[in-house]
Chains A and B, each alone.
Chain A
Amino acid sequence: MSDRRINNENFQKLLWPLVALGLILLFNFFFTPGFLNVEVKDGRLFGSLIDIVNRGAPVMLLTIGMTLVFATGGIDLSVGAVIAISGALAATIIRPDYVKGVLEYGELRPLFMVVSIPLLVSMAAGLWNGLLVAIIGIQPIIATLILMVAGRGIAQLITQGQIVVFIHEPFQFIGSGFLFGLPFPISIVIFMCALTYLLTRKTALGMFIEAVGANPVASRFMGVKERLIKISVYTFSGLCSGIAGLIICADIKAADANHAGFLLELDAIASVIIGGTMWGGRFTLIGSIAGTLIIQSLTTTILTIGIAPEVTLVFKAVVIICVALIQSEDFRRLFTHRSPQLKAKSS
Chain B
Amino acid sequence: MTESETIVQIKGLSKSFPGVNALINVDLDLKHGEIHGLMGENGAGKSTLIKVLTGIYNKDEGQIFFDGKPFELNSPEDAPKFGVSTVYQEINLIPALSVAENIYIGREPTRLGCIDWRAITTHAKTAIKKLDLDIDVTLPVSSYSVAIQQLVAITRALDISAKVLIFDEPTSSLDTAEVEQLFSVMRKLRQQGMAILFITHFINQAYEITDRITVLRNGELVGQFQTEELPRIELIATMLGRDVTEFEGENEGEDSGEPGGEKEVFYQVRGMERKGSISAFDLDIRKGEVLGLAGLLGSGRTEIARLLFGIDRPQKGITRLNGSEVAITSPRKAIGYFFGLCPEDRKTEGIISDLTVRENIILAIQARDGIFKTIPRKKQEEIVDKYIKALDIKTPGSEQIMNNLSGGNQQKVIIARWLASNPEFLILDEPTRGVDVGAKAEIEKLIASLSREEGMAILFISSELEEVIRCSDRVAVLRDRKKLTELTGKQIEDSTIMHIIASEDVG
By a beta-carbon cutoff of 8 Å, the part of chain A in contact with chain B is 1-3, 5-6, 202-205, 207-208, 210-211, 214-215, 217-225, 281-282, 343-347
Contact = CB atoms under 8 A, between A and B. Distances in A.
B244 interface: no
B362 interface: yes
10 A-B pairs with least C-beta separation? A2-B396, A347-B394, A2-B397, A223-B335, A223-B367, A281-B354, A214-B354, A223-B332, A203-B374, A222-B364
Contact of B396 (A202, A218, A344): A344
A211 B363 contact: yes
Given A3-B399, A207-B366, A210-B355, 5 more contacts: A202-B374, A207-B359, A214-B355, A222-B331, A224-B363
26 contacts: A3-B399, A6-B397, A202-B374, A203-B372, A203-B374, A205-B371, A207-B366, A208-B367, A211-B355, A211-B359, A211-B363, A214-B354, A214-B355, A219-B352, A221-B341, A221-B343, A221-B349, A222-B335, A223-B332, A223-B336, A223-B367, A346-B394, A346-B400, A346-B406, A347-B406, A347-B408
Contacts of B311: 221
Contact of A344 (B352, B371, B400): B400
Interface string B324-336: 0000000110111
Most chain B Cβ neighbours within 10 Å, of A202, A207, A218, A221: A221
B368 interface: yes
B482 to A, nearest CB: 26
A207 B362 CA distance: 10
Contact of A218 (B349, B362, B399, B406): B349
A204 to B, nearest CB: 4
A217 B306 CA distance: 13
B353 A3 contact: no
A54 to B, nearest CB: 33
Most buried by B among A204, A219, A222: A222
Contacts of A343: 404
A66 B83 CA distance: 51
A214 B352 contact: yes
Interface of B: 309, 311, 331-332, 334-336, 341, 343, 348-356, 359, 362-364, 366-368, 371-372, 374-375, 394-397, 399-401, 404-406, 408-409, 417
Contacts of B352: 210-211, 214-215, 218-219
A220 B364 CA distance: 10
Nearest to B436: A347
A282 B394 contact: no
Most buried by A among B352, B356, B359, B409: B352
Contact of B351 (A202, A215, A282): A215
Contacts of A214: 352-355
Contact of B409 (A6, A221, A347): A347
Contact of B331 (A208, A215, A223): A223
A219 B311 CA distance: 12
Nearest to A213: B354
Contacts of B371: 203-205, 208
Contacts of A282: 354-355
A344 B403 CA distance: 10
Contacts of B348: 215, 217-218
Contacts of B341: 221
B367 A215 contact: no
Contacts of B374: 202-204
Contacts of B354: 210, 214-215, 281-282
Contacts of B397: 1-3, 6
B353 A215 contact: yes
Which of B367, B399, B417 is packed against the most chain A CB atoms within 10 Å? B367
Nearest to A217: B349
A6 B399 contact: yes
A6 to B, nearest CB: 5
Nearest to A202: B374
Contacts of B404: 343-346
A55 to B, nearest CB: 34
Contacts of B417: 222
Contact of A2 (B334, B349, B400): B400
A208 B362 CA distance: 10
B122 to A, nearest CB: 38
Contacts of A346: 394-396, 400, 404-406
A204 B396 CA distance: 23
Contacts of B309: 221
A331 B371 CA distance: 38
Contacts of B400: 2, 6, 344, 346
Given A205-B371, A345-B404, A1 B351 contact: no
A218 B350 contact: yes
A219 B363 contact: yes
Nearest to B372: A203
Contacts of B334: 223
A229 B356 CA distance: 20
B351 A218 contact: yes
A282 B353 CA distance: 11
Contacts of A345: 404, 406
Contacts of B399: 2-3, 6
A224 B406 contact: no
Given A344-B396, A346-B404, A347-B406, A204 B366 contact: yes
A184 B336 CA distance: 46
B382 to A, nearest CB: 16
A5 B396 CA distance: 10
Given A222-B335, A281-B354, A346-B394, A204 B405 contact: no
Contacts of A344: 396, 400-401, 404
A219 B367 CA distance: 9
A1 B368 contact: no
A345 B451 CA distance: 33
Contacts of A6: 356, 397, 399-401
Nearest to B346: A218
Contacts of B372: 203
A220 B395 CA distance: 25
Contacts of A221: 309, 311, 331, 341, 343, 349-350
A214 B366 CA distance: 17
A204 B379 CA distance: 13
Nearest to B332: A223
